[in-house]
Structure 1
Amino acid sequence: MSNKPTILFDLDGTLIDSTEAILNGFYKAFKEHNLTQPTKKQIYSLIGHPLEYMFASLGVPKHLIDSFILIYKDDYRQNYLSQTTLLPGGFEAVSKASKFANLGVVTTKTSLYSKNLLENLGILKYFSVVIGRDDVTHPKPNPEPILKALEVIGKTSNIYMIGDTPMDAKAAKSVGIFSIGVTCGYDSRENLELICDYVCSSALNAIEYIIAQNIVNL
Protein backbone atom coordinates (compact mmCIF):
# COMPACT_ATOMS: atom_id res chain seq x y z
CA MET A 1 0.00 0.00 0.00
CA SER A 2 2.99 2.27 0.50
CA ASN A 3 3.20 3.10 -3.19
CA LYS A 4 -0.36 4.47 -3.27
CA PRO A 5 -1.44 8.01 -2.49
CA THR A 6 -3.72 8.44 0.54
CA ILE A 7 -6.86 10.55 0.34
CA LEU A 8 -8.72 11.61 3.47
CA PHE A 9 -12.25 12.98 3.19
CA ASP A 10 -14.33 15.13 5.47
CA LEU A 11 -18.04 14.16 5.42
CA ASP A 12 -20.57 16.99 5.85
CA GLY A 13 -20.40 19.36 2.91
CA THR A 14 -17.71 17.28 1.24
CA LEU A 15 -19.24 13.88 0.47
CA ILE A 16 -22.65 14.07 2.11
CA ASP A 17 -25.51 16.51 2.62
CA SER A 18 -27.03 16.04 6.07
CA THR A 19 -28.19 19.64 6.38
CA GLU A 20 -31.83 18.77 7.02
CA ALA A 21 -31.01 16.37 9.85
CA ILE A 22 -28.57 18.84 11.43
CA LEU A 23 -30.96 21.79 11.26
CA ASN A 24 -33.88 19.80 12.65
CA GLY A 25 -31.79 18.58 15.57
CA PHE A 26 -30.75 22.11 16.45
CA TYR A 27 -34.28 23.47 16.11
CA LYS A 28 -35.68 20.78 18.40
CA ALA A 29 -33.06 21.43 21.10
CA PHE A 30 -33.77 25.15 21.14
CA LYS A 31 -37.54 24.60 21.04
CA GLU A 32 -37.53 22.22 24.00
CA HIS A 33 -35.59 24.77 26.05
CA ASN A 34 -37.88 27.62 24.93
CA LEU A 35 -34.99 29.61 23.52
CA THR A 36 -35.03 31.60 20.28
CA GLN A 37 -33.96 29.38 17.43
CA PRO A 38 -30.78 30.32 15.54
CA THR A 39 -31.02 31.09 11.84
CA LYS A 40 -29.93 28.66 9.13
CA LYS A 41 -27.03 30.97 8.34
CA GLN A 42 -25.81 30.87 11.94
CA ILE A 43 -25.91 27.08 12.04
CA TYR A 44 -24.33 26.72 8.59
CA SER A 45 -21.37 28.83 9.69
CA LEU A 46 -20.58 26.36 12.48
CA ILE A 47 -21.10 23.00 10.77
CA GLY A 48 -17.92 20.98 11.00
CA HIS A 49 -17.19 22.03 14.57
CA PRO A 50 -17.95 19.73 17.52
CA LEU A 51 -21.49 20.06 18.90
CA GLU A 52 -20.35 21.57 22.19
CA TYR A 53 -18.61 24.38 20.33
CA MET A 54 -21.59 24.93 18.04
CA PHE A 55 -24.10 25.26 20.84
CA ALA A 56 -21.80 27.51 22.87
CA SER A 57 -21.27 29.74 19.84
CA LEU A 58 -25.05 29.99 19.40
CA GLY A 59 -25.41 31.40 22.90
CA VAL A 60 -26.41 28.33 24.86
CA PRO A 61 -25.43 28.72 28.55
CA LYS A 62 -22.60 26.42 29.52
CA HIS A 63 -24.66 24.49 32.09
CA LEU A 64 -27.26 23.62 29.43
CA ILE A 65 -24.96 22.49 26.63
CA ASP A 66 -25.00 18.80 27.62
CA SER A 67 -28.81 18.85 27.67
CA PHE A 68 -28.93 20.48 24.23
CA ILE A 69 -26.55 17.86 22.85
CA LEU A 70 -28.66 15.01 24.22
CA ILE A 71 -31.82 16.40 22.59
CA TYR A 72 -29.98 17.02 19.33
CA LYS A 73 -28.51 13.50 19.25
CA ASP A 74 -31.86 11.88 20.06
CA ASP A 75 -33.54 13.69 17.16
CA TYR A 76 -30.59 13.14 14.84
CA ARG A 77 -30.46 9.42 15.64
CA GLN A 78 -34.08 9.01 14.58
CA ASN A 79 -33.74 10.88 11.29
CA TYR A 80 -30.17 11.01 10.04
CA LEU A 81 -30.29 8.04 7.68
CA SER A 82 -33.46 9.19 5.91
CA GLN A 83 -32.39 12.85 5.83
CA THR A 84 -28.85 12.42 4.49
CA THR A 85 -27.82 12.04 0.85
CA LEU A 86 -24.59 11.90 -1.10
CA LEU A 87 -23.63 15.20 -2.68
CA PRO A 88 -23.58 15.23 -6.51
CA GLY A 89 -20.55 13.31 -7.70
CA GLY A 90 -19.85 11.92 -4.23
CA PHE A 91 -20.21 8.26 -5.15
CA GLU A 92 -18.19 8.72 -8.33
CA ALA A 93 -15.44 10.52 -6.41
CA VAL A 94 -15.01 7.73 -3.89
CA SER A 95 -15.34 4.93 -6.44
CA LYS A 96 -12.79 6.50 -8.76
CA ALA A 97 -10.37 7.33 -5.93
CA SER A 98 -10.50 3.78 -4.57
CA LYS A 99 -8.95 2.50 -7.78
CA PHE A 100 -5.61 4.17 -7.12
CA ALA A 101 -5.50 5.41 -3.50
CA ASN A 102 -5.95 4.42 0.13
CA LEU A 103 -9.06 6.15 1.44
CA GLY A 104 -10.06 7.36 4.88
CA VAL A 105 -12.65 9.59 6.54
CA VAL A 106 -11.80 12.22 9.14
CA THR A 107 -14.91 13.89 10.57
CA THR A 108 -16.32 15.56 13.66
CA LYS A 109 -19.35 13.27 13.54
CA THR A 110 -19.15 10.24 15.79
CA SER A 111 -17.61 7.23 14.11
CA LEU A 112 -20.78 5.15 14.69
CA TYR A 113 -23.05 7.64 12.88
CA SER A 114 -20.43 8.09 10.18
CA LYS A 115 -20.05 4.38 9.48
CA ASN A 116 -23.82 3.85 9.51
CA LEU A 117 -24.28 6.69 7.03
CA LEU A 118 -21.52 5.49 4.75
CA GLU A 119 -22.94 1.96 4.80
CA ASN A 120 -26.45 3.25 4.09
CA LEU A 121 -25.12 5.32 1.19
CA GLY A 122 -23.21 2.36 -0.24
CA ILE A 123 -19.65 3.62 0.12
CA LEU A 124 -18.32 2.37 3.48
CA LYS A 125 -16.55 -0.51 1.70
CA TYR A 126 -14.19 1.93 0.00
CA PHE A 127 -12.65 3.25 3.23
CA SER A 128 -9.98 1.53 5.27
CA VAL A 129 -10.47 3.84 8.26
CA VAL A 130 -13.13 6.19 9.66
CA ILE A 131 -12.05 8.54 12.43
CA GLY A 132 -14.85 10.35 14.26
CA ARG A 133 -15.12 12.83 17.12
CA ASP A 134 -15.33 10.02 19.66
CA ASP A 135 -12.03 8.53 18.49
CA VAL A 136 -9.88 11.51 19.48
CA THR A 137 -9.31 13.93 22.32
CA HIS A 138 -8.79 16.94 20.05
CA PRO A 139 -10.91 17.27 16.87
CA LYS A 140 -10.03 19.24 13.73
CA PRO A 141 -8.39 21.73 13.31
CA ASN A 142 -6.07 19.82 15.64
CA PRO A 143 -4.03 17.29 13.61
CA GLU A 144 -4.85 14.38 15.94
CA PRO A 145 -7.67 12.89 13.80
CA ILE A 146 -5.53 12.94 10.67
CA LEU A 147 -2.56 11.41 12.45
CA LYS A 148 -4.77 8.68 13.86
CA ALA A 149 -6.14 7.87 10.41
CA LEU A 150 -2.62 7.68 8.99
CA GLU A 151 -1.54 5.33 11.76
CA VAL A 152 -4.11 2.84 10.49
CA ILE A 153 -3.36 3.31 6.79
CA GLY A 154 0.40 3.38 7.17
CA LYS A 155 3.05 5.25 5.22
CA THR A 156 2.14 6.41 1.74
CA SER A 157 3.86 8.31 -1.04
CA ASN A 158 1.66 11.38 -0.88
CA ILE A 159 -1.36 12.42 1.16
CA TYR A 160 -4.35 14.67 0.50
CA MET A 161 -7.10 16.02 2.74
CA ILE A 162 -10.37 17.03 1.06
CA GLY A 163 -12.79 19.18 3.04
CA ASP A 164 -15.20 22.08 2.83
CA THR A 165 -13.93 24.24 5.72
CA PRO A 166 -10.67 25.91 6.74
CA MET A 167 -10.56 23.52 9.71
CA ASP A 168 -9.82 20.64 7.38
CA ALA A 169 -7.02 22.59 5.73
CA LYS A 170 -5.55 23.77 9.03
CA ALA A 171 -5.42 20.21 10.34
CA ALA A 172 -3.78 19.04 7.10
CA LYS A 173 -1.24 21.82 6.94
CA SER A 174 -0.16 21.26 10.53
CA VAL A 175 1.22 17.87 9.48
CA GLY A 176 2.40 18.84 6.00
CA ILE A 177 -0.49 17.33 4.02
CA PHE A 178 -1.79 18.81 0.77
CA SER A 179 -5.19 20.37 1.42
CA ILE A 180 -8.01 20.61 -1.12
CA GLY A 181 -11.03 22.77 -0.36
CA VAL A 182 -14.41 22.11 -1.96
CA THR A 183 -17.06 24.80 -2.38
CA CYS A 184 -20.04 22.41 -2.30
CA GLY A 185 -20.22 22.70 1.48
CA TYR A 186 -20.59 25.30 4.18
CA ASP A 187 -17.80 27.81 3.63
CA SER A 188 -16.97 30.32 0.91
CA ARG A 189 -14.38 30.00 -1.83
CA GLU A 190 -12.76 33.16 -0.51
CA ASN A 191 -12.18 31.67 2.94
CA LEU A 192 -10.95 28.39 1.51
CA GLU A 193 -8.51 30.09 -0.84
CA LEU A 194 -6.88 31.80 2.13
CA ILE A 195 -5.52 28.50 3.44
CA CYS A 196 -6.10 25.57 1.07
CA ASP A 197 -3.45 24.46 -1.41
CA TYR A 198 -6.13 24.02 -4.05
CA VAL A 199 -9.85 24.84 -4.26
CA CYS A 200 -12.46 23.29 -6.54
CA SER A 201 -16.20 22.78 -6.67
CA SER A 202 -16.66 19.18 -5.51
CA ALA A 203 -15.04 16.00 -4.25
CA LEU A 204 -15.17 14.57 -7.76
CA ASN A 205 -13.29 17.60 -9.12
CA ALA A 206 -10.77 17.12 -6.31
CA ILE A 207 -10.19 13.49 -7.31
CA GLU A 208 -9.76 14.48 -10.94
CA TYR A 209 -7.16 17.04 -9.85
CA ILE A 210 -5.30 14.43 -7.78
CA ILE A 211 -5.31 12.02 -10.72
CA ALA A 212 -3.82 14.72 -12.94
CA GLN A 213 -1.08 15.40 -10.38
CA ASN A 214 -0.22 11.71 -10.06
CA ILE A 215 -0.69 10.61 -13.64
CA VAL A 216 2.94 9.56 -13.98
CA ASN A 217 2.57 7.21 -11.01
CA LEU A 218 -0.79 5.64 -11.89
Structure 2
Amino acid sequence: MKIETILFDLDGTLINTNELIIESFLHTLNHYYPNQYKREDVFSFIGPPLYDTFAEMNEGKVEEMMAVYRKFNHEQHDVLVKEFDSVFETVEMLHQKGYKLGIVTTKIRSTVNMGLKLTNLDQFFDVVVTLDDVENAKPHPEPVLTALKQLDAKAEHAIMVGDNYHDIEAGKHAGTKTAGVSWTIKGEEFLKAYNPDFMLHKMTDLLKIVGVE
Protein backbone atom coordinates (compact mmCIF):
# COMPACT_ATOMS: atom_id res chain seq x y z
CA MET A 1 0.00 0.00 0.00
CA LYS A 2 1.46 3.33 -1.06
CA ILE A 3 -0.21 6.34 0.50
CA GLU A 4 0.05 9.52 -1.56
CA THR A 5 -2.91 11.50 -0.22
CA ILE A 6 -3.86 12.27 3.38
CA LEU A 7 -7.25 13.70 4.31
CA PHE A 8 -7.86 15.03 7.79
CA ASP A 9 -10.91 15.89 9.79
CA LEU A 10 -10.30 19.23 11.54
CA ASP A 11 -12.04 19.54 14.91
CA GLY A 12 -10.86 17.03 17.46
CA THR A 13 -8.25 15.69 15.04
CA LEU A 14 -5.87 18.50 14.11
CA ILE A 15 -7.09 21.24 16.41
CA ASN A 16 -8.54 20.96 19.88
CA THR A 17 -11.91 22.63 19.57
CA ASN A 18 -13.53 20.33 22.13
CA GLU A 19 -13.82 22.99 24.83
CA LEU A 20 -15.11 25.55 22.34
CA ILE A 21 -17.74 23.16 20.98
CA ILE A 22 -18.86 22.02 24.43
CA GLU A 23 -19.17 25.59 25.72
CA SER A 24 -20.98 26.66 22.54
CA PHE A 25 -23.54 23.88 22.93
CA LEU A 26 -24.04 24.55 26.63
CA HIS A 27 -24.46 28.28 25.97
CA THR A 28 -27.09 27.58 23.31
CA LEU A 29 -28.94 24.82 25.15
CA ASN A 30 -29.07 26.74 28.42
CA HIS A 31 -30.64 29.61 26.49
CA TYR A 32 -33.47 27.40 25.18
CA TYR A 33 -33.60 24.67 27.84
CA PRO A 34 -32.24 26.17 31.10
CA ASN A 35 -30.39 23.74 33.36
CA GLN A 36 -31.46 20.67 31.37
CA TYR A 37 -28.06 19.78 29.87
CA LYS A 38 -24.77 18.96 31.57
CA ARG A 39 -21.29 18.91 30.07
CA GLU A 40 -21.26 15.15 29.40
CA ASP A 41 -24.67 15.34 27.73
CA VAL A 42 -23.28 17.23 24.75
CA PHE A 43 -20.42 14.85 23.90
CA SER A 44 -22.66 12.94 21.47
CA PHE A 45 -23.34 16.19 19.58
CA ILE A 46 -19.68 16.56 18.59
CA GLY A 47 -19.18 15.48 14.99
CA PRO A 48 -22.55 15.64 13.20
CA PRO A 49 -23.61 18.85 11.41
CA LEU A 50 -25.20 21.43 13.70
CA TYR A 51 -28.39 21.37 11.68
CA ASP A 52 -28.94 17.68 12.34
CA THR A 53 -28.35 18.03 16.08
CA PHE A 54 -30.67 21.00 16.58
CA ALA A 55 -33.35 19.62 14.22
CA GLU A 56 -33.76 16.64 16.52
CA MET A 57 -34.38 19.00 19.44
CA ASN A 58 -36.60 21.65 17.91
CA GLU A 59 -37.14 21.61 14.15
CA GLY A 60 -38.93 24.95 14.22
CA LYS A 61 -35.99 26.80 15.77
CA VAL A 62 -33.02 25.20 13.99
CA GLU A 63 -31.78 28.31 12.21
CA GLU A 64 -32.23 30.44 15.31
CA MET A 65 -30.36 27.97 17.51
CA MET A 66 -27.55 27.70 14.96
CA ALA A 67 -27.20 31.48 14.94
CA VAL A 68 -26.93 31.60 18.75
CA TYR A 69 -24.37 28.79 18.71
CA ARG A 70 -22.22 30.34 15.96
CA LYS A 71 -22.23 33.82 17.50
CA PHE A 72 -20.83 32.48 20.77
CA ASN A 73 -18.53 30.06 18.94
CA HIS A 74 -16.94 32.78 16.82
CA GLU A 75 -16.61 35.22 19.72
CA GLN A 76 -14.80 32.64 21.89
CA HIS A 77 -12.90 30.87 19.10
CA ASP A 78 -9.42 32.30 19.53
CA VAL A 79 -9.61 32.01 23.33
CA LEU A 80 -10.52 28.33 23.49
CA VAL A 81 -8.96 26.69 20.39
CA LYS A 82 -5.53 25.03 20.51
CA GLU A 83 -3.71 22.61 18.21
CA PHE A 84 -3.00 19.07 19.40
CA ASP A 85 0.55 17.98 20.22
CA SER A 86 2.82 17.16 17.26
CA VAL A 87 0.18 18.17 14.68
CA PHE A 88 2.03 21.13 13.21
CA GLU A 89 5.37 19.37 12.75
CA THR A 90 3.69 16.26 11.30
CA VAL A 91 1.60 18.16 8.75
CA GLU A 92 4.58 20.37 7.89
CA MET A 93 6.74 17.28 7.24
CA LEU A 94 4.06 15.66 5.06
CA HIS A 95 3.75 18.88 3.09
CA GLN A 96 7.53 19.09 2.62
CA LYS A 97 7.61 15.48 1.41
CA GLY A 98 5.08 16.25 -1.30
CA TYR A 99 2.01 14.42 -0.04
CA LYS A 100 -1.36 15.68 -1.25
CA LEU A 101 -3.11 17.08 1.84
CA GLY A 102 -6.76 17.93 2.37
CA ILE A 103 -9.27 18.82 5.07
CA VAL A 104 -12.70 17.15 5.10
CA THR A 105 -14.99 18.62 7.75
CA THR A 106 -18.66 19.02 8.66
CA LYS A 107 -18.11 22.67 9.66
CA ILE A 108 -18.90 25.71 7.55
CA ARG A 109 -16.03 27.37 5.71
CA SER A 110 -15.86 30.59 7.73
CA THR A 111 -15.30 28.67 10.98
CA VAL A 112 -12.84 26.29 9.34
CA ASN A 113 -10.79 29.20 8.04
CA MET A 114 -10.62 30.68 11.54
CA GLY A 115 -9.19 27.47 12.99
CA LEU A 116 -6.64 26.91 10.23
CA LYS A 117 -5.45 30.51 10.35
CA LEU A 118 -5.20 30.58 14.15
CA THR A 119 -2.99 27.47 14.20
CA ASN A 120 -1.05 28.49 11.07
CA LEU A 121 -2.00 25.20 9.41
CA ASP A 122 -3.68 26.92 6.46
CA GLN A 123 -0.39 27.05 4.53
CA PHE A 124 -0.19 23.27 4.14
CA PHE A 125 -3.52 22.19 2.64
CA ASP A 126 -4.26 22.05 -1.07
CA VAL A 127 -7.96 21.36 -0.62
CA VAL A 128 -10.50 22.13 2.12
CA VAL A 129 -13.93 20.52 1.76
CA THR A 130 -16.50 21.97 4.16
CA LEU A 131 -20.21 21.51 4.79
CA ASP A 132 -20.80 24.34 2.30
CA ASP A 133 -19.29 22.29 -0.54
CA VAL A 134 -21.41 19.12 -0.43
CA GLU A 135 -24.98 17.90 -0.41
CA ASN A 136 -24.24 15.06 2.02
CA ALA A 137 -22.05 15.31 5.13
CA LYS A 138 -19.87 12.52 6.55
CA PRO A 139 -20.41 9.58 7.07
CA HIS A 140 -21.62 9.80 3.46
CA PRO A 141 -18.59 9.38 1.17
CA GLU A 142 -19.34 12.54 -0.86
CA PRO A 143 -17.01 14.89 1.10
CA VAL A 144 -14.10 12.44 0.88
CA LEU A 145 -14.73 11.75 -2.81
CA THR A 146 -14.98 15.51 -3.46
CA ALA A 147 -11.57 16.08 -1.85
CA LEU A 148 -10.02 13.21 -3.81
CA LYS A 149 -11.41 14.57 -7.07
CA GLN A 150 -10.09 18.08 -6.37
CA LEU A 151 -6.68 16.62 -5.52
CA ASP A 152 -6.72 14.34 -8.59
CA ALA A 153 -6.07 11.47 -6.18
CA LYS A 154 -7.04 7.81 -6.07
CA ALA A 155 -8.92 6.41 -3.08
CA GLU A 156 -6.75 3.31 -2.91
CA HIS A 157 -3.70 5.54 -2.34
CA ALA A 158 -5.38 7.76 0.28
CA ILE A 159 -6.07 7.68 4.00
CA MET A 160 -8.77 9.50 5.99
CA VAL A 161 -7.77 10.55 9.51
CA GLY A 162 -10.38 11.51 12.10
CA ASP A 163 -11.61 11.46 15.68
CA ASN A 164 -15.18 10.33 15.07
CA TYR A 165 -16.96 7.37 13.54
CA HIS A 166 -18.26 9.69 10.80
CA ASP A 167 -14.67 10.05 9.56
CA ILE A 168 -13.95 6.32 9.62
CA GLU A 169 -17.19 5.39 7.87
CA ALA A 170 -16.83 8.14 5.25
CA GLY A 171 -13.33 6.92 4.42
CA LYS A 172 -14.42 3.28 4.22
CA HIS A 173 -17.40 4.16 2.01
CA ALA A 174 -15.11 6.15 -0.30
CA GLY A 175 -12.56 3.34 -0.51
CA THR A 176 -9.67 4.92 1.40
CA LYS A 177 -7.65 3.56 4.29
CA THR A 178 -8.68 5.04 7.65
CA ALA A 179 -6.95 6.13 10.83
CA GLY A 180 -8.57 7.02 14.14
CA VAL A 181 -6.96 9.23 16.78
CA SER A 182 -6.75 8.05 20.38
CA TRP A 183 -7.27 11.58 21.72
CA THR A 184 -10.91 11.61 20.57
CA ILE A 185 -13.12 13.01 23.31
CA LYS A 186 -15.38 9.96 22.92
CA GLY A 187 -12.57 7.61 23.91
CA GLU A 188 -10.26 5.34 21.97
CA GLU A 189 -12.36 2.22 22.58
CA PHE A 190 -15.43 3.94 21.11
CA LEU A 191 -13.55 4.66 17.89
CA LYS A 192 -11.91 1.23 17.72
CA ALA A 193 -15.38 -0.31 17.48
CA TYR A 194 -15.61 1.12 13.94
CA ASN A 195 -12.46 -0.75 12.90
CA PRO A 196 -10.17 1.94 11.50
CA ASP A 197 -7.16 0.47 9.70
CA PHE A 198 -4.84 2.33 12.08
CA MET A 199 -5.04 4.04 15.47
CA LEU A 200 -2.79 7.03 16.13
CA HIS A 201 -1.63 7.70 19.68
CA LYS A 202 0.17 10.85 18.61
CA MET A 203 0.02 12.54 15.23
CA THR A 204 3.65 11.67 14.44
CA ASP A 205 2.55 7.99 14.29
CA LEU A 206 1.12 8.88 10.89
CA LEU A 207 4.60 9.46 9.45
CA LYS A 208 5.60 5.82 9.84
CA ILE A 209 2.27 4.59 8.45
CA VAL A 210 2.68 6.52 5.21
CA GLY A 211 6.40 5.77 4.90
CA VAL A 212 8.09 8.95 6.09
CA GLU A 213 11.16 8.09 8.16
Given the two structures, how large is their TM-score scaled by the length of structure 2?
0.90
Alpha-carbon distance between aligned partners in 2 of 1:40 and 1:51, rounded to the nearest angstrom = 17
CA distance 1:88–1:74, change in 2 (3 Å): same
Partner of 1:209: 209
| Aligned 8 A contact 1:173 1:179 in 2 | yes
User: Could you tell me how far apart the structure 2 residues matched to 1:65 and 1:35 are?
Assistant: 17
Aligned amino acid, residue 62 of structure 1: E
- Secondary structure of residue in 2 paired with 1:174: helix
Where in structure 2 are the equivalents of 1:47-196 lying within 5 Å? 47-56=46-55, 60-100=57-97, 101-156=99-154, 158-194=157-193, 195-196=195-196
Q: Secondary structure at the match of 2:75?
A: helix
| % identical equivalent positions | 28
Cα contact 1:182–1:206 (8 A) shared by 2:
no
**Whose helix fraction is larger, Structure 1's or Structure 2's?**
2
SS of corresponding position for 1:142: coil
Give secondary structure in 1 for the equivalent of 2:174: coil
- Across the two proteins, how many residue pairs are aligned to each other? 209
Deviation at residue 34 of structure 1 after TM alignment = 4.2
Q: Which residue of 2 aligns with 1:20?
A: 19
Unaligned runs of at least 5 residues, structure 1:
none
| Mapped partners of 1:83, 1:90: distance in 2 | 17
Task: Give 3-state SS (helix, strand or coil) of 1:118's partner.
Answer: helix
> Counterpart of 1:203 in structure 2: which amino acid?
M
Cα distance in 2 for partners of 1:133, 1:209 equals 28
Match of 1:197 in 2: 197
Q: Structure 1 pair 204/44, CA: closer, same or farther in 2 (3 Å)?
A: farther
Separation in structure 2 between the aligned mates of residue 151 and residue 15 of structure 1, nearest angstrom? 22
| Structure 2 residue runs without a partner (length 5+) | none
Deviates more, 1:187-196 or 1:9-18: 187-196
C-alpha separation in 2, matches of 1:64 and 1:193: 35
Distance in 1 of aligned mates of 2:167 and 2:40? 20
**Could you give the per-residue CA deviations for residues 160-179 of structure 1, whole angstroms, max 9, x where no partner exists?**
11001111110011121000
Contact in 1 for aligned 2:139/2:169 (Cα 8 Å) = yes
CA deviation profile, 1:61-104 (whole Å, cap 9, x unmatched): 22122221110011111111222110111111211211231100
**In the aligned structure 1, how far is the partner of 2:207 from the partner of 2:165?**
19
- Given residue 197 of structure 1, which amino acid in structure 2 is its aligned partner? D
Normalised by the size of structure 1, how large is the TM-score? Answer: 0.88
8 A contact 1:115–1:130 mirrored in 2 = no
